[in-house]
Amino acid sequence: MSIWSQSLGTGSDLVVLHGWGLNSHVWQPVQQQLAQQHRLHLIDLPGYGESAWPQGLPVSLDNCVDILLAHLPDRFHVLGWSLGGLMATRMALVAPQRVQSLVTVASSPKFQASAEWPGMDSQILANFAEQLNGQYRKTIERFLAIQAMGSPTARAQVKQMKSWVLSKPEPNIEALKGGLALLAQVDLREQLAQIQQPFLRMYGKLDSLVPVAVADAVADYAPMSQQWIAQGCAHAPFVSATEAFLQRLQQFYHT
């Protein structure tokens, strides 16, 4: 099983996990700065970019986490964006002796909305799953447009992210479909109270995929965690508010 990774810089180990449909190139706006403070590990999630998905293995959250843990340092800080945040959260729960701290960016323990929970409309997830058959690029373009919606720099952001996505091999279709199923089905809310590590949750005020109302809703389940909301940003605050994002991260890692 081969997982693509690249390590930059020196210091404490920091693993960064990208979101659905993308790859490790999304960290380009922040990777050099993060590598000045850490030994930064850029990872392509299983089935994405240059990482394979094991043939015949069902796509589940625990299978993804097990594959990643087998390729990561003994002890590390983890930062996950969107779907990557779900994986990072599960990692902190199942390997507390290895995960030193947890940061989630534009992520949620439960992505799909329900009567009492803010989140993504189930129809949006169903539409993406339906469109995937033979239309990977169009589906990703639609997804990028939705996640940048509301950002003042939405058009430029979509163009930039699209170039990052297409600069690596296309994701495995089973990993894509399985990833959408994780976003639709996983619910880690009740497990958040078990997280003992320092925990920072970062959000975009204008995010339409993980609405900002999620921030306070999650705080009820993880009262010991910290939260930060990037003003004027949608689903990718590390792209549209890079300096503020890095400043808040540095504060978290050095206190």
Q: Is 82 a catalytic residue?
A: yes
| Catalytic residue selected from 24, 51, 82, 108 | 82
The answer to whether 144 is a known ligand-binding residue is yes
The answer to whether 82 is a known ligand-binding residue is yes
The answer to whether 145 is a known ligand-binding residue is yes
| Catalytic residue selected from 44, 101, 207, 225 | 207
| Catalytic residue selected from 25, 41, 77, 235 | 235
The answer to whether 95 is a known ligand-binding residue is no
Q: What is the DSSP string of the chain?
A: ----EEEESSSEEEEEE--TT--GGGGTTTHHHHHTTEEEEEEPPTTSTT----TT----HHHHHHHHHTTS-SSEEEEEETHHHHHHHHHHHH-TTTEEEEEEES--S--B-BTTB--B-HHHHHHHHHHTTT-HHHHHHHHHHHHHTT-TTHHHHHHHHHHHHHTSPPPPHHHHHHHHHHHHH---GGGGGG--S-EEEEEETT-SSS-THHHHHHHTT-TTSEEEEETT--S-HHHHSHHHHHHHHHHHHT-
The answer to whether 124 is a known ligand-binding residue is no
- Per the DSSP assignment, residues forming a β-bridge with 43 are 5, 17
The answer to whether 53 is a known ligand-binding residue is no
Reading the block at residue 69, the tokens are 């843990």
Q: Nearest 5°: phi and psi at 183? A: -60, -35
The answer to whether 246 is a known ligand-binding residue is no
The answer to whether 147 is a known ligand-binding residue is yes
The residues that are catalytic are: 82, 207, 235
Residue positions forming the annotated binding site: 20, 82-83, 143-147, 235
Binding residues for substrate, as ranges, are: 20, 82-83, 143-147, 235
